[in-house]
Amino acid sequence: MAYMIRTTDKPDAAELRAATRAEHLTYLRSYTPRILAAGGFLNDDGSVGKGGMIILDTDDRAEAEQLIANDPFNIAGVFEKVEIQRWRKVFFNGVDLSL
């Protein structure tokens, strides 16, 4: 199984997000082997949205909580809201896992 971590930025966090992005990416690289997907949300016109998502390959909710608690974006105060939800792979990487 995995956990999906969805974040929503504070309304005026765009500048803080940009200033902290390099540190955030460096931090997430330490989890690369276990990140199934991650990225920021975009507006329909392709401009930077407000928030993002990480899908972490772990059965341990505490590990997902620890990842986001120590994320430089979170520490800097970029996030208004963080949601952590258990997630089941059904269609993944071009494969139907339900069969």
CATH of the domain at 38: 3.30.70.1060
Q: Whole-angstrom Cα distance, residue 64 to residue 35? A: 11
- Answer yes or no: is 32 within a domain: yes
- Answer yes or no: is 46 within a domain: yes
Residue 22 is which amino acid?
A
- Answer yes or no: is 96 within a domain: no
Give the total number of structural domains in the chain: 1
Q: Tell me what pLDDT residue 47 has.
A: 85
- Answer yes or no: is 69 within a domain: yes
- Answer yes or no: is 52 within a domain: yes
**Owner of token pair 């803080």:** 16
- Answer yes or no: is 30 within a domain: yes
Q: Tell me what pLDDT residue 99 has.
A: 83
Residue 88 is which amino acid?
R
Per the document, the length of the chain is: 99
Q: What is the pTM of this model?
A: 0.92
- Answer yes or no: is 99 within a domain: no
Rg (CA), the chain: 14
Task: Give the domain range for residue 16.
Answer: 2-91
- Answer yes or no: is 86 within a domain: yes
Residue 70 is which amino acid?
N
Q: Tell me what pLDDT residue 35 has.
A: 97
pLDDT per 10-residue tile (average), the chain, 99 residues: 96 94 97 96 88 97 98 98 96 91
